[in-house]
Amino acid sequence: MLFYIRNRELRAKAKDEFIRDCERVSAGRCANRALETDIYVTNACNLRCAYCYFYFEPYFADASHHKPENPTLTALKVQLDKISGRTYCLVILGGEPFSRPDFEQLLAYARGRDIFSLRVSTNGLLLRRSKHLLQYIDTLAVSFDAMRKAQYPREAKQVLDDLSQLKAELGGSLPRIVPSWTTAPADDFDKDVRPLLDYSVEHGFVVKFLPLKVNQKADWKQQRTIVLQALEYVGQEAVTNQLDHTLQLGEAFGTQNCLVAKTQHYIDFEGNFLYPCDEYAHQRVGTLYSRDIDTLYDLGAAKFGTYPRSDGVCAHCPSGCHSDNSYIIRNPARQIAWLE
């Protein structure tokens, strides 16, 4: 996803570095920094959404279905030290990150590293009581969609009410809010999506659309339809998804949109580096506690080969986030505009 930086001086520095990295990628070389690096900080959550990857994908469990303990603050600090200087954006995932009692310490430590942008993915229910933490964060990706609203109607209303109050209280000091909509086959644009778009435009938020993955397959036709309707309704500035990338969505679009080498990194719940991405969560090549991130990537390439693979395995990749980021690094104009 496009990354945002609230600090003007950091934005200017990141812009210069990002442009140089895009030139490197265009010339067939690796970027110095990944566009983003994802880490998981907790397996605790105050919701149990029926479609959440926490329950049906192997991010947190091995073959014996063992769910590891939450990483300690000390362990996460080691990860941040290794990530420092190697990524533009740190993406903090869970579970629900705001449920960590030491989350402020983690955010403050991250702010002291050489990382331009901090993005936290959240269900939004703990934001009101955690508003003192928002000073550390550049972007809040707040999950909100028709499936969650149907399962948790009261909580869905609370999230929108809380975001409205935070916007009224904090104004321009509020992080950039990105409501994150997981597009399901049953979504109706007028009934389900339009109200969130109206709400987001009113508050100055920017909506991100993601595909729902079921058995490692995504409904690209529905995703494409909903995003195109959204872009027509509110325009490009109110939606992070980009038109040209959206037009590519289809059954066999994955290979042409595979991640450029070293432009996105995934660290699992136990600090393992996943090569080349979290669609291959079983391809763990070592932990960030023992090796640096470039060494881990090179070990993955040596062991598992380069991607996209030539045997067609990647042709139906269900990960819109991956292809979205690959598109950004290859077509950087809008990301550069976010760094102005």
CA dihedral of 139, 142, 145, 149, whole degrees rounded to 10: -160
The pLDDT assigned to 217 comes to 77
Give tens-digit pLDDT for 13-63.
999 999 999 999 999 898 999 999 999 999 888 988 887 766 544 444 454
Of 313 and 275, the one with more pLDDT = 275
Query: Which candidate, 306, 302, 247, places its Cα nearest to that of 277?
Result: 306
Is residue 166 domain-resident? yes
Is residue 2 domain-resident? no
Query: Any idea what the CATH number is for the domain that residue 25 is in?
Result: 3.20.20.70
Q: What percentage of the chain reaches a pLDDT higher than 90?
A: 70
The domain of 76 spans 8-338
Is residue 23 domain-resident? yes
Is residue 315 domain-resident? yes
Q: What percentage of the chain reaches a pLDDT higher than 70?
A: 90
Number of neighbouring beta carbons within 10 Å of residue 290: 11
Average pLDDT over residues 134-146: 97
Is residue 1 domain-resident? no
Residue 91 has pLDDT above 80, yes or no: yes
Average pLDDT over residues 315-332: 79
Query: Which candidate, 206, 33, 205, 4, places its Cα nearest to that of 119?
Result: 4
In terms of Cβ atoms closer than 10 Å to its own Cβ (0-12, 13-18, 19+), residue 10 is middle
Quote the number of domains for the chain.
1
Is residue 3 domain-resident? no
Q: Which residues contact 287 (CB under 8 A, 6 or more apart)?
A: 270, 271, 272, 273
- Residue 36: C-alpha distances to residues 100, 134, 261 (Å): 22, 20, 12
Is residue 28 domain-resident? yes
